[in-house]
Structure 1
Amino acid sequence: MQQLTNVVALRPPQEAGDEGINRVLRALRTHLDMDVAFVSRFRERDRVFTHVDARAVAPLKPGDVLPLEAGYCKKVVDGLLPELIPNTAQVPMAMSIPETRALPIGAHLSVPVRLSDGQIYGTLCCFSALADTTLGTRDLGMLKVFAELIADRLEMDQHAKEERLRKHRIICAALAQAQPNVVYQPIVSLGDGTIAGWEALSRFSSQPKRSPDLWFQEAAEAGLGLEMEVRAVEKALEGLGQLPASHYLTLNCSPALLLSGRLAKVISDHDPARLVLELTEHCVVPDYDALSNALVPYRTAGVRLAIDDAGAGYASMRHILQLRPDIIKLDMALTQGIEHDAQRRAMASALIAFARETDTSVVAEGVETTADLLTLRRLGAHRVQGYLTGRPMPLVLAANWQVPRLAELFEPPSG
């Protein structure tokens, strides 16, 4: 199954980095008992205040811009002002700076923020309205340590930004090439050996070569997760009209897609009784009540809900208990080799018994051997999906697919 990453709870890397730097500023300002602490970034002709923490109302805010030569920062970097000024009244150049009296600034500390390649990003500064003659070299040393921490954080954020842009370019290129492609895998009834439905699965031919779950994960990390999911659903639905009318189609959906409201428009022109929305074990659900509410209009219209990977982990069981699906899909880790494994049989039997009590149907995935199929049929599974009954295939094959060489398996036992 394709793993779809929930992006609802994710924050952009830059936002997370800003929060870390703001905490550093707050700790520094509080420890030194200063009124304002800030980080400024040098540009060609000006400097911008990127992060600001203040005791009360700050005289400046993030995003404010001043000429590069204004204030203290550039003068400190150029060696015209000392990094530590306990009392600005004792430094004539400091007193000549308009901001000293306007703010006012009674004590000031400032050090360069230097990146690992030696480049000066800007400065880390703090000041108070009153002079503070207790400030000394140990305080300045602490400021330099904090500046190194901030430089590390800034470089990490820059790397994350570059990585996000790289991923964004790759995903955009894949979307421009009409990716993903969609293949269909049959879901076969254990009652009579006929095809009951199909699961639509995404495949990617673009570079780099990797599994579909990694493509969807990277799309989410690039901020394009919903676009990739919507594209996959749209392409899957293009084939619904060419599949027999008695067959249903299973669509992999993340909680983020369901909560976004975008899915309703995509499926609005299709028979809801033929659609199944599938959530996997790997989907993170931050709010089951919100997801249940989002599912109400779909399920009221006749769309069914499936929970994938049952038996693979705790999350799938939570999905089942919280969302009350129409279909439970047993994970291949549970079904493969089940004929010879008593523990697998016991677990599968328990899930099938649960499904029977809750009027839920069971699809066993990953079925590759006749022995496993017969065991699952004996345990009470309703349908199977796997290489034994059909590999994922293009629509042109799916439209006329016949389940191979299994008719004898579904005949009533003799005698």
Structure 2
Amino acid sequence: MSVRPTPASVLGPKAEVPEPATAVVELLGILRRHLGMDLAWLGRIEADVLVVQVINGDGASFQLAPGSTVRRESALFGRVLSGEFPTVIPDTRADPRILRLPVVDELDVGAYAAVPVVDSDGIVYGLAGCLGHGPHPHLRPRDGRFLRMIAEILGDSVTDLHRMWEVRSRVWRDVSHVIDGGGPALAFQPVLDLEHGKIIGVEALSRFSDYARSPSQWFTAAGSVGLNVDLELAAVRRALAVLPRLPTHMILAINVSATTLSAGLVDMIMNEDAERILVEITEHERIGDTPAINRDIEHLRRLGVRIAADDVGTGYAGLEQLVRLRPEIIKMDCCLTQGIDTDPARRAVAAGLVHVAKEIGGSVVAEGIETAAELQATRETAIPYGQGFLLGPPTPVLPEAVR
């Protein structure tokens, strides 16, 4: 190792580093241009220093080059690793905690972004990030998720780098285009009181102009690049705009994953007519032991929002989950509804859900009713509400009976 001391306390001795792969340099260039920063870098952690491995951009203006070492105690990366500082810092000089660090003045860092890079064994290899001389107020939390996506690719084998980037960047562009356009389009499917045949509300369903992916595949793809919450919130925002157009006795059902509950949904609903909103939790995961999610569910309930467990019957953690969540609405999946007229087992499960709902103070909605026989059997099972193509298909405009 060749040593060349510098007067700046932030930087340590120079280290020798291997020639970087072209693909890594190009990927850092994509990151730098996407964030609009002056420098993108990849560094390896060695004890209490970060060894800069690869750079793309104006490294000289930051006194950085391949082989530069940055001391943990006077820099930002240690605090990013510990979670003390956020992934994206648009203005380092606006935060007194950061302003006191030598890196801000000595390297002239006005904006900073960094995330850990983890190798295939799950071990933190180092960090990838960007630097800007001036503040970058345009940076958003979504840009931090873009940086995480880049870091995940860097952690994988270089052989797959270009293939993975092509796939993920296409997904990122597609999903970002939908989000920036105001969210997915909506279709509205009526929910009926089966005894009286009247519409009591509508479910807002996301629809996309690109039919190469189904709506569920769109959200799965968004999740693969860290944009599922952004996409869901965009869909919710568009759905809530419809609420004033519904008659005051109508319910608007919106779909969110459990993760989105703690990512801004409560604030979004605060100023709405919450008693007319039904939040359907769509994610098939155990949430009973997650304090943050339970806290937000109770907050929503205090506002007047009702909670639904969606797709019950498709592995949604079973009856234990229903008892712990205690949803006001149990949405029985179409896999139980379709064929209920000919299958005693389906009727028995449906009757059991009705009993559970009564015990926890809720009701059941049967999804996927497509035939008159299924409708009759659903009524005979004492399920009070239903939806499906027989009762009304999803349409891009509110059903006539609702307007």
Distance in 2 (CA, whole Å) between partners of 1:293 and 1:63 is 42
Q: Structure 2 unaligned runs (5+)?
A: 1-14, 26-40, 55-63, 69-153
Alignment of structure 1 residues 270-281 onto 2, 5 Å: 270-280=272-282
CA contact (8 A) 1:288 1:322 kept: no
Select which of 252, 257, 262 maps to 2:260: 257
Distance in 2 (CA, whole Å) between partners of 1:370 and 1:339 is 9
Alignment of structure 1 residues 227-376 onto 2, 5 Å: 227-260=230-263, 262-280=264-282, 282-283=284-285, 285=287, 287-315=289-317, 317-376=319-378
CA contact (8 A) 1:40 1:49 kept: no
Flag the 1:314–1:301 CA change in 2: closer, same or farther, 3 A: closer
Alignment of structure 1 residues 18-37 onto 2, 5 Å: none
CA contact (8 A) 2:52 2:67 kept: no
Distance in 1 (CA, whole Å) between partners of 2:18 and 2:42 is 4
Moved more, 194-203 or 273-282: 273-282
Q: Secondary structure at the match of 1:352?
A: helix
Q: Secondary structure at the match of 1:398?
A: coil
CA contact (8 A) 1:281 1:310 kept: no
Corresponding residue for residue 101 of structure 1: none
Corresponding residue for residue 399 of structure 2: 398
Q: Secondary structure at the match of 1:328?
A: strand
Distance in 2 (CA, whole Å) between partners of 1:49 and 1:156 is 18
Moved more, 333-342 or 176-185: 176-185
CA contact (8 A) 1:281 1:316 kept: no
> In structure 2, what residue type is equivalent to 1:227?
D
CA contact (8 A) 1:39 1:49 kept: no
* Deviation readout 1:323-343 (Å, 9 max, x if unpaired): 111100101000111011011
CA contact (8 A) 1:167 1:219 kept: yes
Alignment of structure 1 residues 44-63 onto 2, 5 Å: 50-52=43-45, 57=47, 61-63=50-52
TM-score of the pair, normalised by structure 2: 0.62
Deviation at 1:212, TM superposition (A): 0.5
Flag the 1:164–1:281 CA change in 2: closer, same or farther, 3 A: closer
Q: Secondary structure at the match of 2:317?
A: helix
> In structure 2, what residue type is equivalent to 1:220?
G
Select which of 171, 175, 183 maps to 1:171: 175
Q: Does 1:185 align with 2:186?
A: no
CA contact (8 A) 1:281 1:309 kept: no
Corresponding residue for residue 382 of structure 1: 384
Select which of 155, 158, 181 maps to 1:154: 158
Distance in 1 (CA, whole Å) between partners of 2:333 and 2:163 is 37
Q: Secondary structure at the match of 1:257?
A: helix
Alignment of structure 1 residues 44-83 onto 2, 5 Å: 50-52=43-45, 57=47, 61-63=50-52
Distance in 2 (CA, whole Å) between partners of 1:364 and 1:344 is 12
Distance in 2 (CA, whole Å) between partners of 1:177 and 1:69 is 43
Deviation at 1:314, TM superposition (A): 4.7
Distance in 2 (CA, whole Å) between partners of 1:158 and 1:269 is 45
Deviation at 1:365, TM superposition (A): 0.4
CA contact (8 A) 2:369 2:390 kept: yes
Distance in 1 (CA, whole Å) between partners of 2:165 and 2:390 is 45
> In structure 1, what residue type is equivalent to 2:281?
L
Distance in 2 (CA, whole Å) between partners of 1:375 and 1:50 is 64
Corresponding residue for residue 42 of structure 1: 20
* Deviation readout 1:64-97 (Å, 9 max, x if unpaired): 6787799xxxxxxxxxxxxxxxxxxxxxxxxxxx
Distance in 2 (CA, whole Å) between partners of 1:209 and 1:168 is 15
> In structure 1, what residue type is equivalent to 2:351?
S
Flag the 1:252–1:334 CA change in 2: closer, same or farther, 3 A: same
Distance in 2 (CA, whole Å) between partners of 1:38 and 1:162 is 31
CA contact (8 A) 2:51 2:67 kept: no
CA contact (8 A) 1:41 1:49 kept: no
* Deviation readout 1:148-204 (Å, 9 max, x if unpaired): xx9972333554344332211111223344441111111101221111111110001
Distance in 2 (CA, whole Å) between partners of 1:42 and 1:163 is 23
CA contact (8 A) 2:188 2:396 kept: yes
Deviation at 1:251, TM superposition (A): 0.6
* Deviation readout 1:24-66 (Å, 9 max, x if unpaired): xxxxxxxxxxxxx99744379xx9874355xxx46x5332678
Count residues with an aligned counterpart. Answer: 278
Corresponding residue for residue 136 of structure 1: none
Higher relative contact order (CA 8 A, sep 6+): 1
Corresponding residue for residue 137 of structure 1: none
Distance in 2 (CA, whole Å) between partners of 1:233 and 1:391 is 20
Flag the 1:63–1:280 CA change in 2: closer, same or farther, 3 A: same
Q: Secondary structure at the match of 2:352?
A: helix
CA contact (8 A) 2:274 2:305 kept: yes
* Deviation readout 1:189-227 (Å, 9 max, x if unpaired): 12211111111100011x363211111111222222222
> In structure 1, what residue type is equivalent to 2:234?
R
Flag the 1:331–1:69 CA change in 2: closer, same or farther, 3 A: closer
Q: Secondary structure at the match of 1:42?
A: coil
CA contact (8 A) 1:199 1:249 kept: yes
Q: Which structure would you say has the larger Rg?
A: 1
